[in-house]
Amino acid sequence: MKHTFKIVLISLSLLLLVSCSLNQEQADANIPYYTFNNQDRSLIINYPYTQGQTIRYVNQNGDVLHFRVLENQTSKNASYSEGSLSGGSGILENYYDGKTIRFEILENPSTEPYAMANYIFSKNNNALNTGINFPLWNLPLFSFIDEIQNAVNIFLNQESVTSTLTVNGHQFDKVIILSSDSDDSNNDSRFGPLLQNVNKLWYDYDFGIIQFKDINDILWSVEYPQ
């Protein structure tokens, strides 16, 4: 009798698990999932950065900055509404594709999130949002895309006209220029110990930052990985 009871109990438990799983799948099927489309991908970096890889930027004086890859990840993410004032959790509103490419600058050691160099791409709410966090940028801005760890201080204009530029022997075909229109210099430790004095960037939609120049006309150019 006990043996029969155990069999019945196990069977009921399995049915309950299957039922809950089916209910969850049905619930997920009714939640929007915003994925990157081909037009989005044309604006998203496609260079295959690998964790631990180091990208070098060299100026005309022979100085080098080393950008080491911490993360290059595309993922399905969930977006929730804000919780209630009484402490209740938010409601799942939609899923969305996101891509994060994150670097540490070896000459700019810091654990602050704004000291990292980030490329952030998000399709949350069915709109592509793209931004950069560049710790040497001379206009201080503390913002993020979707999650607080996805720090950005430059938002990209997706309708910018592109051009071709050859840097250290490599041709980049989808280049835009970003300018702060400021000659200020800052030294905010939240961006790391290096001076924030860069006011011009050359950005390639397929690769990321290929050149940057500071207020003293020091130009740093990428050595394209071979």
Q: What is the pLDDT of residues 23-45, one digit of tens each?
A: 444 446 789 999 999 999 999 99
Distances from the Cα of 206 to the Cα of 80, 103, 149, 172, angstroms: 31, 17, 23, 8
* Band of pLDDT at residue 10, cut at 50, 70 and 90: low
The mean pLDDT of the chain is: 90
* Band of pLDDT at residue 158, cut at 50, 70 and 90: confident
- Please tell me the least confidently modeled range out of 6-10, 19-23, 206-210: 19-23
Q: Decide which of 120 and 3 is more confident.
A: 120
Nearest to 140 by CA among 191, 103, 89: 191
* Res 172: pLDDT: 98
132: phi > 0 → left, psi -120 to 50 → alpha, else beta; which? beta
* pLDDT reading at 225 higher than 60: yes
Separation between Cα atoms, residue 47 and residue 4, nearest integer Å: 60
* Band of pLDDT at residue 74, cut at 50, 70 and 90: very high
Helical (H) or strand (E) element with 29: helix 2-29
Query: In this predicted model, what pLDDT tens digit does every residue of 79-110 receive, in sequence order?
Result: 998 764 444 568 999 999 999 999 999 999 99
Task: Tell me the mean pLDDT in the region 122-135.
Answer: 97
Q: Would the pTM of this model clear 0.75, i.e. be above it?
A: yes
Task: Tell me the mean pLDDT in the region 194-209.
Answer: 98
* Band of pLDDT at residue 21, cut at 50, 70 and 90: very low
Share of the chain above pLDDT 90, in %: 80
